[in-house]
Structure 1
Amino acid sequence: MTAGWKWLPYDTALAKKTLDQLISRRGDVVHRSKPVTVGTPAPHLVKRDDLEKAIRFLTGLVTAREHALEGE
């Protein structure tokens, strides 16, 4: 399944590593307990730039996989 995970600038190993990091980060965000804060709220764990990078990565991953399936 991962053989087709190749697109610029990602190769299969880097794509796997990046996907693992995104899944880990998602788990950190979803499964954390929200501490009670007084005053200024804590910043979000995921910044807009991080979200946009994740969306670009996942879009590239899906596109690469679709191209790989078309070639099979």
Structure 2
Amino acid sequence: MRQTYFVDHALTRQNDIIISRRADDQMGLWFPVMMGIVSQEVMDFATVEEVQLYNELANKKWELTHGSEED
């Protein structure tokens, strides 16, 4: 067994955590695109108000297709 295995594993795990956090931080910009509400090109130039609107529309679509959390 290599002695550096633990270090390699620890560094890989930290990278996974960092990537996950970065994805979570950007979810407000990706969610409307993933839900098919708007294209990435439109999101790149959207104002804060437009991003909020697109996210609300994406949430509504999610609720219609998957049910709301209140159900």
Shorter-normalised TM-score: what interval? 0.3 to 0.5
- Taking structure 2 as the reference length, what is the TM-score of the superposition? 0.37
Which structure has more relative contact order (CA 8 Å, sep 6+)? It is 1
In terms of fraction of residues, the more helix-rich structure is 2
Higher radius of gyration, 1 or 2? 2
